[in-house]
Amino acid sequence: MESEKIIFFDTTLRDGEQSPGASMNKAEKLRLAVQLEKLGVDVLEAGFPAASQGDFEAVQQIANRLKNTEVAALARANKNDINRAWDAIKHAVKPRIHTFIATSDIHMKYKLNMSRDEVLSATIEAVRHAKSLTQSVEFSAEDGSRSEWDFLCKVFETAIAAGATTVNLPDTVGYAIPGEFAEMVRYVIKHTPNINQAILSVHCHNDLGLATANTIAAIHAGARQAEVTINGIGERAGNTSLEEVVMTVHTRSNYLPYTCQVKTEHLYPTSRLVSMITGIMVQPNKAIVGANAFAHEAGIHQDGMLKNPMTYEIMRPETIGLAKNQLVLGKHSGRHALREHLKKIGYDLSSEELNVVFEKFKNLADKKKHVMDEDLEAIVTEGVLRTTDIFELDYLHVSAGTTVMPMASVQLTINKRPVKGADYGNGPIDACFNAISKLTNTESELLRFSISALTGGTDAQGEVTVRLKENGLIALGRGSDPDIITASARAFINGLNRLEYLKANPVETPQEI
């Protein structure tokens, strides 16, 4: 018998973007969407077009660009949202409208102020309307895992009868437990009479650290679509991590005999790209893509590994695209070698973009003997993807030490005009941030600052991430440079640019999500 397929529905660009501070601009979203298509996800949820004009345009751009992947747009269960979603995706090769309404008693009573019958009617109307626009319609029962089981089956039956081709059971608040969630999935399959006319999907959140376990339990119980995000990013504790579910299915095929079309060798590069773009770094001990995921420190492990890697290694690093020797280019490498290597790691740049990257690469190669993939990713992200920057760093001079008051002089380009200024601080980074805040006329609060080395070696680039808050808006910033003060300034400026983007693209935070 042919094994059944698990459909991977990636929502990094929608639910993932709801991670505090993880907003991405349009160019970044498009770049990520292209990478997700390369990774081989079946469905890509590109955004929530009714939330803002910026979201609408980003979804539209992605829908017009992707060639093979189904592009989904989220909509609340009302005509306006559904029309807006359809307008954004109508030119996609494979469009999908994803509409949802809450079905738990607590959400219906306190949030929606609707009765069960009213929710059933809204479901019928929304799904019928979506179906009048496109063939592929997904219906989600928000807070499904806390809904009364028979009512949930009734809602799914109604949605399928109205035309839904996928029904999704979300664990919206991350409350489910694997055994119980699996039982619920079996119950839904058994008690929804027309369930075989639709795909049953699950969508888990990680509040109790159980999102992957719940998703795997649900697949084992009969769900055939998994809604996931890269690196598990998402609201609060995040969503189910794509790479964890894919590699569990891949590694434990004896227990989970399913196929999936995700190309595992693109998992690690995609994870890096998401970190680079969002500024949300992966914790070192994160399963599959964390820096320590394949590091074997203990002597006894190393001994076993040398004799046979399978003694302690259940997956090979190459399977997820973690190349062993990432040594790439040096200062004598030419433009052609750089272009070819960038293509190999997933960046097919235009000649104009290559010029920008080549110049930055040469500068770095003067300071650092070996330029690694991580360095190139940082250069491309900072040099090419950040197309909408308002503030740019031209130069920075800092004086600091044991006997002087730390001072920073900075020149920025703001909206194409150079401006200069200086300020003091209680350390060189503080001085730098003060000077930049003055020049940009911003008053952000620094909520978090973290620094790590991008690669090994004492000449490694420092990679800084900052979390900034201004007028209730939160943005993350990321920057890298062999000089950690410059890396900090770049991260701070990137955070300020993201705040500017958020100010210019206000997002209506819909009650229902």
Shortest Å distance, C-beta 53 to ligand KIV: 20
Q: Residue 99 or 434: which CB sits closer to ligand KIV?
A: 99
Q: Residue 13 or 485: which CB sits closer to ligand KIV?
A: 13
> How far apart (Å, rounded) are the C-alpha atoms in residues 210 and 60?
33
Residue nearest to Zn ion (CB): 15
Find the binder of ligand KIV among 8, 10, 15, 192 (CB under 6 A).
Answer: 15
Shortest Å distance, C-beta 142 to ligand KIV: 4
> How far apart (Å, rounded) are the C-alpha atoms in residues 418 and 393?
10
First to last CA, the chain: 40
Q: Residue 15 or 157: which CB sits closer to Zn ion?
A: 15
Shortest Å distance, C-beta 205 to ligand KIV: 6
Instruction: Please tell me whether residue 206 binds ligand KIV under the rule CB under 6 A.
Output: no
Which one of 166-174, 285-293, 416-424, 458-466 is the stretch in contact with ligand KIV (CB under 6 A)?
A: 166-174
- Residues 101/112, Cβ–Cβ less than 8 Å: yes
Partner interacting with residue 375 (select from ligand KIV, Zn ion, none; CB below 5-8 Å by kind): none
Q: Residue 59 or 393: which CB sits closer to Zn ion?
A: 59
- Residues 382/280, Cβ–Cβ less than 8 Å: no
Partner interacting with residue 140 (select from ligand KIV, Zn ion, none; CB below 5-8 Å by kind): ligand KIV
Beta strands in 218-365 (DSSP E): 225-228, 258-259, 327-329
- Residues 106/143, Cβ–Cβ less than 8 Å: yes
Shortest Å distance, C-beta 38 to ligand KIV: 25
Instruction: Give the bridge partners for 70, in sequence order.
Output: 43
Which one of 157-165, 167-175, 248-256, 421-429 is the stretch in contact with ligand KIV (CB under 6 A)?
A: 167-175
Instruction: Please tell me whether residue 208 binds ligand KIV under the rule CB under 6 A.
Output: no
Instruction: Please tell me whether residue 268 binds ligand KIV under the rule CB under 6 A.
Output: no
Instruction: Please tell me whether residue 96 binds ligand KIV under the rule CB under 6 A.
Output: no
Q: How far is CA 342 from CA 347, 384, 481, in A?
A: 5, 13, 19
Find the binder of ligand KIV among 123, 136, 140, 381 (CB under 6 A).
Answer: 140
> How far apart (Å, rounded) are the C-alpha atoms in residues 250 and 1?
18
Per CB under 5 A, residues contacting Zn ion are 15
Shortest Å distance, C-beta 102 to Zn ion: 12
Find the binder of ligand KIV among 203, 266, 286, 478 (CB under 6 A).
Answer: 203
Instruction: Please tell me whether residue 513 binds ligand KIV under the rule CB under 6 A.
Output: yes
Q: How far is CA 256 from CA 3, 289, 407, in A?
A: 10, 21, 60
Q: How many chain residues are in contact with ligand KIV, going by CB under 6 A?
A: 10
Which one of 150-158, 164-172, 258-266, 385-393 is the stretch in contact with ligand KIV (CB under 6 A)?
A: 164-172
Instruction: Please tell me whether residue 142 binds ligand KIV under the rule CB under 6 A.
Output: yes
- Residues 71/92, Cβ–Cβ less than 8 Å: yes
- Which among 34, 18, 101, 102 has a CA at the least distance from the CA of 71? 34
Which one of 165-173, 246-254, 286-294, 465-473 is the stretch in contact with ligand KIV (CB under 6 A)?
A: 165-173
Which one of 86-94, 168-176, 352-360, 363-371 is the stretch in contact with ligand KIV (CB under 6 A)?
A: 168-176
Q: Residue 158 or 480: which CB sits closer to ligand KIV?
A: 158
Partner interacting with residue 513 (select from Zn ion, ligand KIV, none; CB below 5-8 Å by kind): ligand KIV
- Which among 277, 260, 213, 268 has a CA at the least distance from the CA of 16? 277
- Which among 155, 145, 151, 207 has a CA at the least distance from the CA of 182? 145
- Residues 5/261, Cβ–Cβ less than 8 Å: yes
Shortest Å distance, C-beta 205 to Zn ion: 6
Residue type, 74: L
- Residues 230/10, Cβ–Cβ less than 8 Å: yes
Find the binder of ligand KIV among 172, 241, 270, 271 (CB under 6 A).
Answer: 172
User: Residue 412 has which token pair?
Assistant: 């920025």
Which residues 6+ apart lie within 8 Å of 384 measured at CB?
Answer: 347, 349, 353, 356, 357
Partner interacting with residue 444 (select from Zn ion, ligand KIV, none; CB below 5-8 Å by kind): none
Q: How big, in percent rounded to 5, are the helix, strand and coil portions of the chain? A: 45, 20, 35
Q: Residue 227 or 375: which CB sits closer to ligand KIV?
A: 227
Give phi and psi for 100, each to the nearest 5. Answer: -150, 155
Q: Residue 351 or 511: which CB sits closer to ligand KIV?
A: 511
- Residues 180/209, Cβ–Cβ less than 8 Å: no
- Residues 378/461, Cβ–Cβ less than 8 Å: yes
Give the up-direction half-sphere exposure of residue 282: CA atoms within 13 A in the CB hemisphere: 27
Which residue ranges make up the site for ligand KIV (CB under 6 A)?
A: 15, 100, 140, 142, 168, 170, 172, 203, 205, 513
